[in-house]
Amino acid sequence: MNTDRYSHCKPRTRICDANDINIISIYRSTAGDSTARGLCATTCRESHANPFIGCALSACACQPTNQRRDRDRRRCNQHTSARTDVPPAPSATPLVDELAMLAEMQRLPKDRVLLARALSENRDAPEVARTEPLDVQTGHIKEFWVNNIVDSQNYRVNAELRYAGPVVLMYVEEGVQVDQAALEQSARTFENEIYPRTRDLFGSEWQPGVDGDPRIVVLNMGNMGGGVIGYFSPRDSVPASVNRFSNEHEMFYMNVGALTPGTAAYLDTLSHEFQHMIHWNEQRRSSTWFNEGSSTLSQDLNGFVGNVYVSSFVSRPDTQLTAWGEFPGDSLAHYGAAHLFMRYIYAHYANQNDGLQTLIQNDAGNHLQAFVDLAQQQRPDLGSFSELFTEWALANLLNDPTIDQGQYGYNPDVLGYVALPTTVTAEDIPFGELTADVSQFGA
């Protein structure tokens, strides 16, 4: 994952007091209407797992708490006079007008350098830290900032450059034992196989990047804590004058306490994190579910097959595709849903003409119509994302590409093997009227 493959942002929640104004998210319905949900509540929540998409911003004026309401009522009862010429209540502004106004407002860029220039005293913040390639040799010792994702603490470690190739610079934390031959083997496999294939599929990382060097830095650490096995952090792709904890490299972090260089698991994680690096460069506003689905697809298409994600989703098929769980325990099922959906999209619609790059550049995770636009190049009869989602859900149940136009199964001619590890057995439904709930874009 971008920043952490297994721990995710939790929504920040606080109770609002009277006259408390908060910025919250308004989400446009996936059905395409302009209905806004949750404009105001006594608990204002900024959530990364809302079932609605198309985020805009609005002010939320929260209602008074009961304590303050009672106090205000007592104050009102103490007045000896009152106005009798009360003006008529103002008419409410139609919600559709408010949404139209918000849509026209200029949004702040999701770019740390531009934000620093706009909102801080650092008006001349540079975009890059240097313009010349790094002059380093094996044996070089460098200090790195590292973030402990569990407690959000930043600390420094020293690491030695153990491999310097044409594509990657491999550093190893001092005091950590790593087999040199295995490290070099992994580096060369990344350079010769994973790097060119992942770029061909998803696009390019920032070149030459914040450090003026086209090579990627990989920091191999002994332990990251919290079960984290690897991560990519965009903060390293800005100068330290913008983020003081930036290492000023295009880089990602590998936990060699959990992953042994030279193994498939190590290479698997490299392919996952490299997609995140590319995705950040190609589309900085991307949604979590689409970004993570693309990274698991990168693992898949680089030859690293695993069923952990998929098995978790198959056991919880009502997991919402277009959201991400608030708690780490929800993550595997969301990984599985995003993985299977992206695998399905690639097999049927995105395996040619730079289809995956088109989806990323069009911000498909936040604009679901981009999936439909791509699919309609081969299926002009496809009407909506809801229809596309339904066909994918049925493919998970039937997995039979011989039905109709093949949309009710995964295409083995493209992918080479079947991704579904579990046979789904339908349950008997008793005769009569039934009532049940299903998540939006859940099966």
Q: Could you say which of 246, 279, 312 is where a domain stops?
A: 279
Q: What does the pLDDT read at residue 441?
A: 65
DSSP secondary structure letter of residue 346: I
* pLDDT tens digit sequence for 404-422: 988 988 877 666 555 555 5
Say if residue 259 is in the same domain as residue 271.
yes
Predicted confidence (pLDDT) per residue in 172-204, tens digit? 999 999 999 999 999 999 999 999 999 999 999
Report the percentage of the chain scoring pLDDT > 90: 49
Which two tokens mark 30?
A: 């996936």
Of 422 and 443, more confident: 443
| d(C-alpha 58, C-alpha 64), whole Å | 19
Residue 87 in any domain: the answer is: no
Do 272 and 337 lie in one domain? The reply is: no
- Same domain, yes or no, for 141 and 232? yes
> Do residues 390 and 430 both lie within one domain?
yes
Mean pLDDT within 229-256: 93
Same domain, yes or no, for 344 and 381?
yes
Same-domain status, 300 and 350:
yes
Q: Which helix (H) or strand (E) holds 310?
A: helix 308-315
Residue 259 and residue 129 share a domain: yes
Whether 79 is covered by a domain: the verdict is no
How far is C-alpha 304 from the geometric centre of its chain's CA atoms?
21
pLDDT tens readout for residues 58-98:
223 333 344 444 444 444 444 433 444 555 555 555 666 77
> What whole-number percentage of the chain has pLDDT above 70?
66
Is 218 strand, coil or helix?
strand
Residue 307 confidence (pLDDT): 73
Residue 81 counted as domain residue: no
Same domain, 306 and 173: no
Contacts of 75 (CB under 8 A, 6+ apart): none
d(CA 198, CA 93): 49
- 74 lies in some domain: no
User: In terms of residue numbers, what domain contains 101?
Assistant: 8-69+95-107
Give whole-number Cα distances, 208 to 120, 272, 418, in Å: 26, 21, 38
In this structure, is residue 298 part of a structural domain? Answer: yes
Domain membership of residue 405 (yes or no) is yes
* Mean of pLDDT over the chain: 77
The total of structural domains in the chain comes to: 3
Distance CA 27, CA 29 (A): 6
Q: Of 279, 311, 330, at which residue does a domain stop?
A: 279
Q: How far is CA 155 from CA 55, 146, 237, 300, in A?
A: 34, 5, 18, 34
Same domain, 193 and 274: yes
Indicate whether 209 belongs to any domain: yes
Residues 358 and 442 in one domain: yes
Q: Which pLDDT score is estimated for 38?
A: 30
**Is 75 within the bounds of a domain?**
no
Task: Clarify whether residues 255 and 346 are in a common domain.
Answer: no
Q: Which of 82, 107, 132 is the last residue of a domain?
A: 107
What is the pTM for the complete model shown?
A: 0.72
Residues 259 and 156 grouped into a single domain: yes
